[in-house]
Amino acid sequence: MLFIKNATVYGPERLPGTSSILIDQGRIRSLGPSSDLAAPPGATVIDATGFTVVPGFIDLQFNGAFGHDFTNDAAPIWSVAARLPRFGVTSFLPTIITAPLDRVAAGQQVIAAGPPQGFTGAMPLGLHVEGPYLNVAKKGAHNPKYLRPPDRKEVADWSPSTGIRLVTIAPELPGALEVITDLSRRGVLVSAGHSMATYEEAMAAFDAGVRYGTHLFSAMPSLAHREPGLPGALLTDSRPLVGFIADGVHTHQCIIDLVWRALGSARLSLVTDAMAALGMPPGWHRLGDYDVQVDATSARLDARTLAGSILSLDRALRNVIRITGCSLESVLPTLTTNNAKAIGLGHDRGRIAIGFVADLVVLSPDLEVYSTVAAGQVAYTAGDAA
């Protein structure tokens, strides 16, 4: 058992006063005012006086970290997952970008095999497959050699039960709407991205089942006042949740503020799109088929083409608060409840509530990650070797 006492708790709504949390067998068993709860005998106690406890962060787009790229080799998914709690991440979708489909199958096998014995860390909840059904005109760091039109037969066995949670597709491609309908009916979250879709094509995709947008503004047409395109559709239609990389590199800081004003906590989904260089020094790192040059702030194929990011999700949280002036309470759903609901797990993850998986982050007063609890186990404490 684990007992966290005397914390300011956001679940993501702020609880009154200070609260304590009892965790047993990986789930939250009791939650209430500290005056009403005491640590049971034998429980491990974390004194969180002066700290804030929030739900664990969920990253829906994560290509790799610590020198490992999941598209090239899915085997390190679990070893990377063990180190992600340092960023407050307690669950995530390993992302496989455009490549031969046997790379997707390899990722499915790693997920299906389950964690190694004694594993403590962030839980891979299934794959995000980003490609190969993308528009070559907005390929970004994806190898055009493997891009092709959507094929219903190729995705016939893709579902959450086979380890596929999210698929990014360019909805204007021939055959895309049929694939979108098939996948969404099987419970896969389908996203529009790496696309040249017009506004009308984007709306048709929403009608077919698209309920997410992959990294708003990146690998899309520019928003224009006479042709709003995919960005305009994502910003104004109430149906899709919208993924966004709040690093100040993929978009200007004023656009981060604009996106927050347009979408707010209801439809914004903070993601990192982090690649192998996250947690590593600057230099050359791998993303899919390409070597990417990484400096202190960005990852690039060349001067004009970004290739993933080196953003962590806790930094994205702080960035949004710093740039927009919003409150912690208002931004928390964008990396907790929104993301859990989008992939069909809002009943079990993304909140601090009795019966939910005990994924928690203890934040210092300056919103740095002090400690992370993943499935009821302390997975990171500041000062630990990482």
pLDDT digits (tens, 9 = 90+) for 149-178: 999 999 999 999 999 999 999 999 999 999
pLDDT at 299: 76
Amino acid at 162: T
pLDDT at 13 over 70: yes
Rounded distance between C-alpha atoms, residue 311 and residue 313, angstroms: 7
Residue 386 maps to a domain: no
How sure is the predictor about 301, in pLDDT bands with cuts at 50, 70 and 90?
confident
64-85 pLDDT, tens digit each: 999 999 999 999 999 999 999 9
Average pLDDT for residues 339-352, to the nearest whole number?
Answer: 98
Number of domains in the chain: 2
The domain that holds 259 is classified in CATH as 3.20.20.140
Question: 315 and 371, same structural domain?
Answer: no
pLDDT at 47: 96
How is residue 93 written in tokens?
């979708």
Average pLDDT for residues 180-189, to the nearest whole number?
Answer: 98
At residue 339, the 3 state secondary structure works out as helix
Question: 117 and 25, same structural domain?
Answer: no
Q: Which residues contact 122 (CB under 8 A, 6 or more apart)?
A: 56, 81, 82, 84, 85, 89, 90, 91, 92, 374, 379
pLDDT at 385 over 70: no
Rounded distance between C-alpha atoms, residue 209 and residue 257, angstroms: 28
Average pLDDT for residues 214-235, to the nearest whole number?
Answer: 96
pLDDT at 287 over 80: no
Rounded distance between C-alpha atoms, residue 93 and residue 185, angstroms: 20
**CB-count exposure of residue 353 (10 Å: 0-12, 13-18, 19+):** exposed
15-53 pLDDT, tens digit each: 999 999 999 999 999 999 999 999 999 999 999 999 999
Residue 320 maps to a domain: yes
The domain that holds 358 is classified in CATH as 2.30.40.10
Catalytic residue numbers, as ranges: 273
pLDDT at 310: 84
Q: Which residues contact 77 (CB under 8 A, 6 or more apart)?
A: 70, 94, 107, 110, 111, 124
Q: Dihedral sign for Cα 334, 316, 54, 24, please.
A: positive
Question: 66 and 45, same structural domain?
Answer: no
Question: 33 and 88, same structural domain?
Answer: no
R_g of the chain, CA atoms, integer Å: 20
Question: 323 and 361, same structural domain?
Answer: no
pLDDT at 124: 98
Question: 295 and 159, same structural domain?
Answer: yes
Question: 100 and 10, same structural domain?
Answer: no
Average pLDDT for residues 311-323, to the nearest whole number?
Answer: 97
- For 94, phi then psi, to 5°, come to -55, 135
Amino acid at 282: P
How sure is the predictor about 341, in pLDDT bands with cuts at 50, 70 and 90?
very high
pLDDT at 281: 78
Domain residue limits at 189: 56-342
111-122 pLDDT, tens digit each: 999 999 999 999
Average of per-residue pLDDT values in the chain: 95
Contact 287/63 with Cβ under 8 angstroms?
yes
pLDDT at 383: 81
Question: 272 and 227, same structural domain?
Answer: yes
pLDDT at 386: 52
pLDDT at 291: 78
Question: 288 and 181, same structural domain?
Answer: yes
Question: 194 and 45, same structural domain?
Answer: no
Rounded distance between C-alpha atoms, residue 109 and residue 95, angstroms: 14
Tokens 């829906």: give the residue: 60
pLDDT at 257 over 60: yes
Q: In the structure, how many helices (H) and strands (E) does the chain have?
A: 9, 22
DSSP 134-191: --GGG-TTS-GGG-----TTTTTT-SGGGTEEEEEE-TTSTTHHHHHHHHHHTTPEEE
Contact 232/199 with Cβ under 8 angstroms?
yes
Rounded distance between C-alpha atoms, residue 232 and residue 199, angstroms: 7
pLDDT at 231: 98
pLDDT at 222: 93
Question: 287 and 180, same structural domain?
Answer: yes
Q: pTM value?
A: 0.95
How is residue 29 written in tokens?
């068993």
128-144 pLDDT, tens digit each: 999 999 999 999 889 99
pLDDT at 181: 98
pLDDT at 216 over 70: yes
Question: 66 and 21, same structural domain?
Answer: no
CA 328 from chain center: how many Å?
18
